[in-house]
Structure 1
Amino acid sequence: METILIVDDERNYTLILAAVLEDVGFETLTANNGAEALDTLAQSDVDLVLTDMKMPGMDGIELLARIKQTDADLPVIMMTAHGSVEKAVEAMQKGAYNYILKPFDNEQLVLYAKKAASMYQVVKENRQLRSTVENRYSFHNIIGKSKAMQDVFGMIRKVAPASATVLIEGASGTGKELVASALHFNSPRKDKPFVAVNCSALAETLLESELFGHEKGAFTGAVSMKKGRFEIADGGTLFLDEIGELSAGLQVKLLRVLQERVIERVGGTKPIPVNIRLVAATNKSLKSEVAAGNFREDLFYRLNVVPITLPPLRERLEDIRPLVHHFIAKYQDERSAGAPVTGIDREVERLFYEYDWPGNVRELENVIERAVVMSPEAIVQVSDLPKDFIDNAHSTLHMDGIPVDANLYDTLALVEKNMIVRALKKANYVQTHAAELLGIGKSGLNQKIKKYKLFEKNKP
């Protein structure tokens, strides 16, 4: 039920108006001067202000200005006598929703009030939606305490306020779109559109029209002009996912946009300026694609202004526990019965640490969602996990030589040992390089080599 604040220095008038508006379903509040109205607005949730133009002290124009300073979208309807129409027009120019002349028809008053209050409801819903979206893509929803993810957070914080092009590289399921969204919603462009396009999802001709739009008659079926994603994202951020899948022709067109900041619709000849921040993502190595002749080198350098690399989940095992708790909380409302899920069994946690997670964070999220929905108990058991996951995880356990009945601390020690061995081999036993691969200092690596007696044992 919408609430209307009625402001008039004539007390009887406010009572009459309140009765008329309450009769059609509104809730009403009243004030007899501008200062009282501002106090009421500070303490109450109001959907419309209906104020007299002429009042002692603060008049309607000044009250309007004060309201707009606090909430530019809150509708204000001015009430005025016939002799003050010019002031009412001035109020409209300064942001009033409408004005109505005294004495007025009750039906007209109700009509104006319903339209204005309904409009403000849409505004409030949009604010709530934006708040939800911004919360979803805020930093605290990108989970990770590992050094690799802390580096990613640091990069996001540094580059978000700028308009520099960002290239996000990482395997599928590592959260590339989440990072792109965080860049947008933590930037000065956050009130403008965030537009995402998957470059691998459409054929070349359809993708060209999707990106650049088309003019009427540009091809069969183009019955009207259509704006492309570049135009729709104007002022905001355009996220091009799987950019490594762009054809050679579209690579040329994208390069031109990045160089000149203009586009042309398919079938058009008029250059259209666009003001967008481009964020691209790929699960391929674009450097390798350039070397193989599949991707333009000049476009790669245009995209790779600020590179952000997302590590696979198997390389940041310390993030598994906080991710598990995050996803348990996220899907708690999907449980149809039973006590809330509060955690996972030690055996489940051990499986999670040893599994190589080919689907990365997305796969972990899917496993937890299913477990939260299916588990009859507060603690998720192995039996609550998908059978194919259990089979794959056990396969990984045996392949890595970890006994099925090992406890968590033995498992973590073996994981650490195996990771160090792998890094040493990859770095050709150059300890400085191995430490860099592991994200630790050389002295820390030396301590762990001594702890596990690895160096002499594993060195060829």
Structure 2
Amino acid sequence: MEKSNFLVVDDNKYELTDTLSKIVASGHEAKGVLTVKDAMASLRQKRYTFLLTDIHLTESDELKPRGLDLLQDVKCLFPNVLPLAMSKDPDVAIFDRAIAYGALQFIKKPVKNWDEIQIAVSLARSRKALQGSNSSLTRNHQIPEDLRAKYPDGIVLRDSTRNKIKALSQNRDIPLVLSGETGTGKEEVAMLLHRERVVLEGDIPFVAVNCSHFRSDLAQSQLFGHQKGAFTGANDTTVGLVGQANGGILFLDEIHYLPKTSQRDLLRVLNDGHYQRVGSTETLHSRFQLVAATTSSLDDAVAKGLIILDLASRLMGAQIELSPLRERREDLKDLIAIFFAKRKKEISESQLEDISAKCGEYYWQGNIRMLFQILKVMIMEAEFSNEPVSSKHLPDLKLMRDPAGIVTHSGSDLDRIGQRVASGDLSYEEALNNCDKRILEHVVRKTNTIADAISLLDISRSAFDSRRKKYDLQI
């Protein structure tokens, strides 16, 4: 059993001390408190693996022991902590109540030896893993059998991507870099990696944050935590995201927004697991699997000065690029079918064909996230009209259309362009410019350097720079 950290809550000082000594003697860390209030304060300040609480605390009333309140609060507020309950009460009913309020296992007091705790811990981990598995099954049981066979986790991914995730779940020292436009499902892939690891290891933390939300002056504190009194407003000692992620996964979305100072400190944690809270000289330790997401490649981020080279080099582990929805229109039908199934909404094959065909005409700047939001609106419109859902209920938003004015989803695109030019809706010069711009954008996105793009296009550097300036391409 790996070294764990226990928070023990017991209002009997003698029994509390005795339980703590058994845990510490077994090689684990433990802290003891006497009240629910102190327990909640400790949970906010530090990450614990297990909570072991007596059900009958002196602050309890006859109808509802305060230990049950604590179990319920931990289940809601600290889902990564595994709660265990203990009591001298021989009544089986108290065991059932503890389980109902969130306890994963029950220990009879007084605790005789470490073996009793170890058995409870092992059973608690198994129960937690089973709960996660059942939760996933519950979410996906409505998905049609043929789609469940293709996408057992309910996520539309290529087999190569899914296989890479499975391999990474068994190699947790290797970081994962996800690249792709906003809304392509990067966080869903990170969560899939977490679920794969939970199956193998039991409950582990999954800590996610979008780095664009960091305030530059507080990024260090949010990432690494701070000591009480470290700065104005630091009224309590905090753990920080790195500490919370210990033993699990830290997902940093839009990592290119992370300030350079924080990038350097993050690099140190990745190298040796060591870090310090803001305002503290104490060296702390955290080991986690980093999943970093960017809207462009790491090379682009380094070239633009957004990510320091040393960190980018350390992140050179597994890389997965998620294609925009407009480049994977063949997945639209499956995405829509799964969306309806997860929401327990019935949809016939003809309705599915109708809606997916119409959706195929759109550009989807917001990708899968935008698709799902639009489908919610479509269902609402159909229900409001008291009609069967169909493509006519899809909102017709300019944002959903190709910003270049050309839909590129089928072999009939040239015919469409010709028709628009012939009708006067699009000038000949505009059509040529739009095509030229789209080709340049696609080539630049798929090549690693400007030199590669120029070579592939077989044009001069001056011609490339002229087009880039003309179309205001951001490279």
Q: Partner residue of 1:209?
A: 221
For 1:252 and 1:387, how far apart are their aligned partners in 2? 46
Q: Describe the shift of the 1:283–1:222 C-alpha distance in structure 2 as closer, same or farther (beyond 3 A).
A: same
Native 8 Å contact 1:354 1:396 kept in 2: no
Q: Partner residue of 1:156?
A: 165
- Please point out which of 271, 274, 279 is paired with 1:259: 271
Q: Describe the shift of the 1:349–1:116 C-alpha distance in structure 2 as closer, same or farther (beyond 3 A).
A: closer
Gaps of 5+ in 2: 1-51, 55-83, 105-126, 141-147, 420-434, 445-475
Deviates more, 1:369-378 or 1:219-228: 369-378
**1:362-386 per-position Cα deviation (integer Å, ceiling 9, x unaligned):** 1111122222233247753232111
For 2:399 and 2:218, how far apart are their aligned partners in 1? 41
Aligned ranges for residues 311-390 of structure 1 at < 5 Å? Answer: 311-332=323-344, 340-342=346-348, 344=351, 346-376=353-383, 380-388=389-397
Which amino acid counterpart does residue 348 of structure 1 have in structure 2?
A: I
**1:211-244 per-position Cα deviation (integer Å, ceiling 9, x unaligned):** 1011110011111211111111111111111101
Native 8 Å contact 1:244 1:284 kept in 2: no
Native 8 Å contact 1:210 1:229 kept in 2: yes
Say which one has the larger Rg: 1
Structure 1 residue 190 displacement after superposition = 4.7
Native 8 Å contact 1:320 1:352 kept in 2: yes
Native 8 Å contact 2:175 2:318 kept in 1: yes
Gaps of 5+ in 1: 1-72, 76-94, 100-107, 334-339, 407-418, 429-460
For 1:277 and 1:133, how far apart are their aligned partners in 2? 23
Native 8 Å contact 1:351 1:393 kept in 2: no
Native 8 Å contact 1:331 1:369 kept in 2: no
Which amino acid counterpart does residue 341 of structure 1 have in structure 2?
A: I
Native 8 Å contact 2:253 2:292 kept in 1: yes
**1:303-361 per-position Cα deviation (integer Å, ceiling 9, x unaligned):** 1211111111111121111101001112236xxxxxx3335365533232232211111
**1:57-76 per-position Cα deviation (integer Å, ceiling 9, x unaligned):** xxxxxxxxxxxxxxxx9x9x
Q: Partner residue of 2:467?
A: none
Aligned ranges for residues 445-460 of structure 1 at < 5 Å? Answer: none
Structure 1 residue 390 displacement after superposition = 9.2
Which amino acid counterpart does residue 119 of structure 1 have in structure 2?
A: A
Native 8 Å contact 1:189 1:235 kept in 2: no
**1:86-113 per-position Cα deviation (integer Å, ceiling 9, x unaligned):** xxxxxxxxx99555xxxxxxxx65xx54
Native 8 Å contact 1:341 1:372 kept in 2: no
Q: In structure 1, the residue corresponding to 2:229 is in which secondary structure?
A: coil
**1:424-454 per-position Cα deviation (integer Å, ceiling 9, x unaligned):** 99789xxxxxxxxxxxxxxxxxxxxxxxxxx
For 1:397 and 1:292, how far apart are their aligned partners in 2? 30
Q: Partner residue of 2:235?
A: 223
Q: In structure 1, the residue corresponding to 2:177 is in which secondary structure?
A: strand
Q: Partner residue of 1:130?
A: 132
**1:24-70 per-position Cα deviation (integer Å, ceiling 9, x unaligned):** xxxxxxxxxxxxxxxxxxxxxxxxxxxxxxxxxxxxxxxxxxxxxxx
Q: Describe the shift of the 1:171–1:191 C-alpha distance in structure 2 as closer, same or farther (beyond 3 A).
A: same
Native 8 Å contact 1:142 1:178 kept in 2: no
Native 8 Å contact 1:165 1:278 kept in 2: yes
Q: TM-score scaled to structure 1, two decimals?
A: 0.58
Q: In structure 2, the residue corresponding to 1:387 is in which secondary structure?
A: coil
Native 8 Å contact 1:264 1:270 kept in 2: yes
Native 8 Å contact 2:207 2:244 kept in 1: yes
Structure 1 residue 199 displacement after superposition = 0.7
Structure 1 residue 266 displacement after superposition = 0.6
Q: Describe the shift of the 1:353–1:264 C-alpha distance in structure 2 as closer, same or farther (beyond 3 A).
A: same
For 1:353 and 1:161, how far apart are their aligned partners in 2? 38
Q: Partner residue of 2:96?
A: 117
Native 8 Å contact 1:327 1:369 kept in 2: no
For 1:385 and 1:426, how far apart are their aligned partners in 2? 28
For 1:390 and 1:222, how far apart are their aligned partners in 2? 43
Q: Partner residue of 1:185?
A: 195
Deviates more, 1:324-333 or 1:268-277: 324-333
Native 8 Å contact 2:179 2:320 kept in 1: yes
Q: In structure 2, the residue corresponding to 1:200 is in which secondary structure?
A: helix
Q: In structure 2, the residue corresponding to 1:386 is in which secondary structure?
A: coil
- Please point out which of 279, 286, 296 is paired with 2:308: 296
Native 8 Å contact 1:345 1:379 kept in 2: no
Structure 1 residue 387 displacement after superposition = 2.8
Native 8 Å contact 1:263 1:273 kept in 2: yes
Q: Describe the shift of the 1:366–1:256 C-alpha distance in structure 2 as closer, same or farther (beyond 3 A).
A: same
Native 8 Å contact 2:362 2:400 kept in 1: no
Q: How many residues align?
A: 303
Q: Percent identity?
A: 32
